[in-house]
Structure 1
């Protein structure tokens, strides 16, 4: 994909996320918008499930199963719409717990922490080992990201249970993602002090290295 195409695709993705958050918050904050709220709760997981089914070798039966599930949800739309806030909460908590699992499972014995994997792609193109200080730091950052997403899910759960629903929606839709940006800025500042002599790569460089590594691995398996 060309650089311009990547920028356009990224911009469209950001616009879609912003539109989703605005519409989801509007549905929670506005009486009578249960239908919109249910759509915001169901469309993302349905699209993800459809994409996974279409790419699966078992799509011959997964796609009909997806259609059957979508039809069942449509048939139950009226009672589901009355509790659409639960769908939005489950979606938000599941995303953050999923991200925590993505980072946290790489901290298990015998595995390479996710941030260490990124650092290896950027700093050791020749296959050599990372410097001990970088390996130690990236393990700590992987743990920090794991705890960050667990904390976000915990705050979301507590606010959903005990705070007014509009306050929860404000946190989930308007604060949670900016906090990810704050986390990136804080990590960048910590890195300047923890690894003062090391080259600092940006997030997009890390993503490109990860995608290049994944593409090479996939090509090697085919």
Structure 2
């Protein structure tokens, strides 16, 4: 029970990364925030149970720690703002690679509920995987732009709010389309 609570708390903190960075930089030195973020990434890795989850969490944790170390060494916040870019790039690679080899990510998720997914379902999940792949390119590009050219407030607003709203709209739109147009799900 305690492990599950810690895991959920760490996940919420990682999802809140832009807000954590914003608030941290308002109240802490870059070096202090960097140490806290390194601890957060290491804890997230330690509390990730499934080996399939670790495949995603391990590189993101290592890169998150590296970005925090760069921030500490340079006493600059710039590297801290690159984490959303890294997440989007990682998701792009994961989704894009699944389009090239074997089952797509979305097909794998669909098969959890529908193990005998028909051919039209496979075609549909491939299209949805393409949409998410493009989304990660666009979102990652905007995240990069905000990291390089925007204020910390604008970076936080986009990466900690707007990006999640866009993901939610995409998820909800796909769910509505699948349920009411395709009448499956």
- Report the TM-score when normalising by structure 2: 0.71
Residue of structure 1 in register with 2:38 after alignment = 42
- CA deviation map 1:176-198 (0-9, x unaligned): 234322221111112134421x2
- The separation in 2 between residues aligned to 1:151 and 1:172, in whole angstroms, is 13
Residue of structure 1 in register with 2:22 after alignment = 25
For structure 2, the residue ranges without an aligned partner over 5 or more in a row are 52-61
- The separation in 2 between residues aligned to 1:19 and 1:25, in whole angstroms, is 10
- CA deviation map 1:45-100 (0-9, x unaligned): 44467779xx9xxxxxxxxxx9xx99xx5xx87543x21331x2232211111111
**TM-superposed deviation, 1:42:** 3.4
Q: Secondary structure at the match of 1:138?
A: helix
Residue of structure 1 in register with 2:57 after alignment = none
> Within 5 A, what are the aligned runs for 1:12-161?
12-17=9-14, 20-28=17-25, 30=26, 33-39=29-35, 41-47=37-43, 73=69, 79-80=73-74, 82-86=75-79, 88-108=80-100, 110-124=101-115, 128=116, 130-161=117-148
Q: Secondary structure at the match of 1:101?
A: helix
- Aligned residue pair count: 169
| Residue 177, structure 1, aligned to residue 169, structure 2 | no
- The separation in 2 between residues aligned to 1:133 and 1:183, in whole angstroms, is 21
Change (3 A) 1:45 1:8: closer
For structure 1, the residue ranges without an aligned partner over 5 or more in a row are 56-65, 201-222
**TM-superposed deviation, 1:139:** 0.7
- Report the TM-score when normalising by structure 1: 0.61
Work out whether residues 24 and 37 of structure 1, in 8 Å CA contact, stay in contact via their aligned partners in 2.
yes
Work out whether residues 7 and 47 of structure 2, in 8 Å CA contact, stay in contact via their aligned partners in 1.
no
**TM-superposed deviation, 1:143:** 1.0
Change (3 A) 1:45 1:17: closer
